[in-house]
Amino acid sequence: MILRRLRWPAALSALALACLPSTTASAAPRPVPGARTLQQGADALHAAGVTGVAVRLDTPRGTVTARAGVADPVTRRPVPADGFLRLGSTTKTFVATVLLQLVGERRVGLGQSVEDLLPGVVTGAGNDGRTITVRDLLGHTSGLPDYVGDVFPEPTARTYFAHRWQAYAPAELVALALRHEPAFPAGTGWAYSNTNYVLAGMIIEKVTGDTWERQVHERVLRPLGLRDTDTPGTRPFLPRPHARDHQQFTAGGPMVDTTIPYRPFDSGADGSMTGTARDLNRFLGALAAGRLLKPAEQAALLTMVPVGGDSGHPEGTEDGLGLFRTPLSCGGGHLGHGGNGFGYVVRAATTPDGRRSVTVSAHSRSADPRAEARQERALRELVDRALCDGA
């Protein structure tokens, strides 16, 4: 494990030195708020059974990181500092940002129907693209079924190894989902569905004539200088350094190395991106601070609806358009999005002003419901204390 603190900005250091008696040659840098609790939180998550944990907190006062456990249970090498991560569903926040930029350019409307943009794509089993809007897709109020159960019908290691190299075109994933009835009429409820963002990626491509991946690069990654964030599509290998991911498929069973992603649901606009905690914190901070969207689209991004007590989110959580708002113990709430796949969980969050951002990566997942609940509690507490401590 490691705990790293950065110095004060040079100007503040110079001012502090100028105020010292002439006999004093130097002064120790003031700790970044949250350094101690960050390491405690990483240790607690590791103690709950996660093989490897990495945390990065960025604040106006500097950056602090913490690590716990190992990157590889076989070699016992340490978790890399700011290693490369699978971002999973955090991809959705990047995609929502691009689509909202297109709304600001009047190239698409939030109230525009999916049928208008993708004629004939959303139909069947009671699903009707004429009643579903772009806003419904981005905010998970479409009622559309989730395709994930169709591409991973049996939660076993055998299914993972048998199908992890298979890739689907976006239209194929949508077609799989539309064999099932909607959860509710569009706009009348909330239910998380990866299908929504597969369609969002298709809309970006239809409107721009370009891939959603290139649009994310040109509109978000390049302007923010996020050189370590990528849209690898079906390319299965993470850049080095990175921790290895391990999934337990059955309670009491072995941990299976799942560092190779499951491409049926790790290769599209709903969850394929990779990056680092440094880049992810920079992105979320810029988005929350209003640096990526015009005021009207920023307001739309942050217009929230309750997600409901059975969603798996903490009580009081709300969903906007690609961002969740989760209550903080110190008051108010943080903005962010999580991502997970076989063997990994990434949780990224920022304060509403974007000045304090944290990313946590956990590199194993348990099949035991009790262990999973302990790890989730430890992860939520880590994020909460990181954003509240010294705020």
Q: What is the pTM of this model?
A: 0.91
User: How much is the pLDDT for 31?
Assistant: 53
* Domain around 282: 31-388
* Residue 89 annotated as catalytic: yes
CA torsion sign, 27 to 33 to 35 to 36? positive
Q: How many whole angstroms separate alpha carbon 6 and alpha carbon 29?
A: 8
Q: What are phi and psi of 135, to 5 degrees?
A: -60, -40
Domain assignment of residue 25, yes or no: no
| Cβ proximity of 192 and 140 under 8 Å | yes
Domain assignment of residue 14, yes or no: no
Q: What angle do CA 262, 336, 89 make, to 5 degrees?
A: 15
| Cβ proximity of 317 and 384 under 8 Å | no
Q: How many whole angstroms separate alpha carbon 186 and alpha carbon 84?
A: 37
Domain assignment of residue 19, yes or no: no
Domain count for the chain, please give it.
Answer: 1
Print the SS3 string covering the chain: CCEEECCCCHHHHHHHHHCCCCCCCCCCCCCCCCHHHHHHHHHHHHHCCCCEEEEEEEECCEEEEEEEEECCCCCCCECCCCCCEECHHHHHHHHHHHHHHHHHCCCCCCCCEHHHHCCCCCEECCEECCCCEHHHHHHCCCCCCCCHHHHCCCCCHHHHHHHCCCCCCHHHHHHHHCCCCCCCCCCCCCCCCHHHHHHHHHHHHHHHCCCHHHHHHHHHHHHHCCCCCECCCCCCCCCCCCCCCEEECCCCCCEEECCCCCHHHCCCCCCCCEECHHHHHHHHHHHHCCCCCCHHHHHHHCCCEECCCCCCCCCCCEECCCCEEEECCCCCEEEEEEEEECCEEEEEEECCCCCCEEEEEECEECCCHHHHHHHHHHHHHHHHHHHHCCC
Domain assignment of residue 7, yes or no: no
Q: How many whole angstroms separate alpha carbon 95 and alpha carbon 91?
A: 6
Domain assignment of residue 23, yes or no: no
Domain assignment of residue 12, yes or no: no
Residue type, position 290, single letter? G
> What's the full length of the chain, in residues?
391
User: How much is the pLDDT for 320?
Assistant: 98
Residue type, position 225, single letter? G
Cα 346 to Cα 37, 91, 101, 239: the distances in Å are: 19, 11, 25, 17
Domain assignment of residue 18, yes or no: no
Q: From the CB of residue 350, how many other CB atoms can be counted at a distance below 10 Å?
A: 27
Q: What is the domain-level CATH number for residue 83?
A: 3.40.710.10
Nearest to 284 by CA among 272, 292, 273, 296: 292
Nearest to 334 by CA among 367, 311, 357: 357
| Cβ proximity of 207 and 107 under 8 Å | yes
Going residue by residue through the chain, which has 391 residues, state the pLDDT in tens, using 9 for 90 and above: 323 322 223 332 332 222 333 333 333 444 555 678 899 999 999 999 999 999 999 999 999 999 999 999 999 999 999 999 999 999 999 999 999 999 999 999 999 999 999 999 999 999 999 999 999 999 999 999 999 999 999 989 999 999 999 999 999 999 999 999 999 999 999 999 999 999 999 999 999 999 999 999 999 999 999 999 999 988 889 999 999 999 999 999 999 999 999 999 989 999 999 999 999 999 999 999 999 999 999 999 999 999 987 888 999 999 999 999 999 999 999 999 999 999 999 999 999 999 999 999 999 999 999 999 999 999 999 999 999 986 5
Residue type, position 213, single letter? E
Domain assignment of residue 5, yes or no: no
User: Which residue of the set 89, 113, 272, 366 is catalytic?
Assistant: 89
